[in-house]
Structure 1
Amino acid sequence: MRETKITIVTPTYNRAHTLPRVYDSLKNQTFKDFKWIIMDDGSTDNTNEIVSQFQSEGIIDIDYHWNENQHKFITVFEGIKKVQSKYFVIYDSDDSYPANALEILYNEAEKISDQDQFISVMGLSQFENGELVGDKYPNEGFDGTILEMRYKYKVRGDKNGMFITKTYQRLLEKFDYSIYKNKGYIPQSVFFNTYDAKGIKTRFINKVVRNYHLDEDDKQSVSNTRWSGKNTYGLMEGYKSFLNSYGKQLYKYPKALIRNIVGYHLYGILNKKGISELNNGLKYFKVLSLMIYPLSVIYTKLKTS
């Protein structure tokens, strides 16, 4: 059986009310050579019925997998392991995508000749009113790292794109994400920091490939719950990953370095960890961490008072 060119991986948890939005945007894609893997992270609503309805229409090739709740970080990787196509995208269960999104990303990825040096093509997101989420990339787009994009060029806002499967899966094989099982929310940056710091490149393009829906009243939205107490462990791990992955590269960006040390301290303190335990988790910057810690304590008190 011929394999499709793109696989869409969608982690979902109790999103029966938003999955039809994703489905409708996929039905309307101008690029048709794709399949959809839906990774259900233990939903207790009628997600399975909704997906069965999608499947019965026979418009899209859909694989549906239900698992006990492991949280998005783990569920995404379990889905990516199932990918056999040349490219894949991670589509959230509450957004939608312009009709030409897959076509844009596929055509741009096919232009990359040295794909072993690249992991993704990353485009832009827009709100429902057409306003861009954050900034455009400089120089009409460029090839480089996420670190450069965020801190050299100071590009802000959520982005979205497509991954090169062989590169991503090769790097994922070396990443032990099992240590984060049953740990709740973990930011995806805990993984992408590891490969981005090694100089694995992304092609950044100034084309819109996602419609971002705020859904401010949706209690299941990570965007609306990530800052709550149950997520502080994952946020601490995100800051630690950033510091340990990029290491001495961060001396080029002193503001970012200090900001991330303070963030690591903040969420470490909220997780009842003292400075000795926090410093034991760092590969670099231990002395700087000690120097900054008293200020972090004051900052934490101000944030939580």
Structure 2
Amino acid sequence: MALLTVFTPAYNRASTLPRTYQSLCEQECKDFIWLIVDDGSSDNTRELVEGWKNQDNGFEIQYIYKKNGGMHTAHNVAYENIHTELNVCIDSDDRMAEGAVKKIKTAWLKARNKNYAGLIGLDADMNTGRIIGKDFPHGLKETTLGGYYASGGDGDKKLVYRTDIINSVPPYPVFEGEKYVGLVYKYTLIDQKYKLFVLNDVLCDVEYQMDGSSNTMFRQYLKNPKGFAFLRKVAMTYPISKKRLIRDCIHYCSSSLIAGNKNYISESPRKVLTVLCTPLGWILTTVIKKKCKLI
């Protein structure tokens, strides 16, 4: 069996998915499976993948089609179908960095027996080659994801998890009528028990799309308030700093108000703070609606 599953959630990304595929074909080490989870695409994603499966590319390709439900539901389906020791998500508009699979394998053979949840590596801008955010401090050998950011870290990082560990915490919840729950939910729960082995190398070359979730966040707040409120509750339960706790509480109040949840104070893990932050939650809600040009 292969060591690694590279999984790619895809929703109408037939225009960018070929470069993801090409980056995998160019990997020196082919000790991986590529799993594409098609989240209800209406373009020719299926036809592209079926064509690639018939080519001699040196690695196995698996394809699963599901009804559109959002990125987090595609991750749920992926984790249910991954059987390799490790897994990593490479989005459908990104490229796996040159030599990344070999770097992952080499690092993991050193860290495998030390009870790590997996590896944490770097993302780089596809067009400039610059590291996204900051790289890791010199000499840092292990960290949690939350601990990295709490100590001043910045920018998206590439996470390579043990499959048994990622499946040891609950799946992403699904809220009726909503299609977004932050992926950090699972990572936060894992942080409470395990650390990640630091791999100070670029594992993924990224390009943020104008219609991607990172660029539509204010509308996401309005469309998925229950999902955001849920995520803020988790963050408030496991705060990484006092400043971040207050920020998350304000967002929790705002998302709960948008969702029309009258019980949000009693459901909060920080009830007193939630009462104090409610006025700021109202203000944030007004800002969000203005940003979305709904007022």
Whether the TM-score (by the shorter chain) exceeds 0.5 is: yes
TM-score by length of 2: 0.90
Q: Deviations over 1:181-237 (max 9, x none)?
A: 6531111112222221x2311122321111111233xx3x22233331323433222
Letter in 2 for 1:107: T
Rounded Cα–Cα distance in structure 2 between residues aligned with 1:79 and 1:42:
14
Rounded Cα–Cα distance in structure 1 between residues aligned with 2:45 and 2:265:
43
The alignment's C-alpha RMSD in Å is: 1.9
**Match of 2:124?**
126
**Match of 1:231?**
224
8 Å CA contact 1:141, 1:203 repeated in 2 = no
Structure 1 unaligned segments of length 5 or more: list them: none
**Match of 2:166?**
168
1:41 to 39, 42, 66: 39
SS state at 1:259 partner:
helix
**Match of 2:70?**
71
Rounded Cα–Cα distance in structure 2 between residues aligned with 1:145 and 1:36:
26
Structure 2 unaligned segments of length 5 or more: list them: 291-295
8 Å CA contact 1:118, 1:167 repeated in 2 = no
Matches within 5 A, 1:60-139: 60-115=59-114, 117-127=115-125, 128-139=127-138
Query: How big is the shift at 1:77?
Result: 1.8
TM-score by length of 1: 0.87
8 Å CA contact 1:36, 1:61 repeated in 2 = yes
SS state at 1:135 partner:
coil
2:200 to 200, 206, 215: 206
Query: How big is the shift at 1:126?
Result: 0.9
Matches within 5 A, 1:1-305: 3-59=1-57, 60-115=59-114, 117-127=115-125, 128-151=127-150, 153-169=151-167, 171-172=168-169, 175-177=170-172, 179-180=174-175, 183-196=178-191, 198-216=192-210, 219=211, 221-228=212-219, 229-244=222-237, 246=238, 250=239, 253-274=241-262, 277-283=263-269, 285-305=270-290
8 Å CA contact 2:94, 2:206 repeated in 1 = yes
Query: How big is the shift at 1:256?
Result: 1.1
Q: Deviations over 1:261-285 (max 9, x none)?
A: 11111222222334xx2123323x2
Change (3 A) 1:135 1:298: same
Percent identity of paired positions between Structure 1 and Structure 2 = 26
Aligned residues: 286
Query: How big is the shift at 1:150?
Result: 0.8
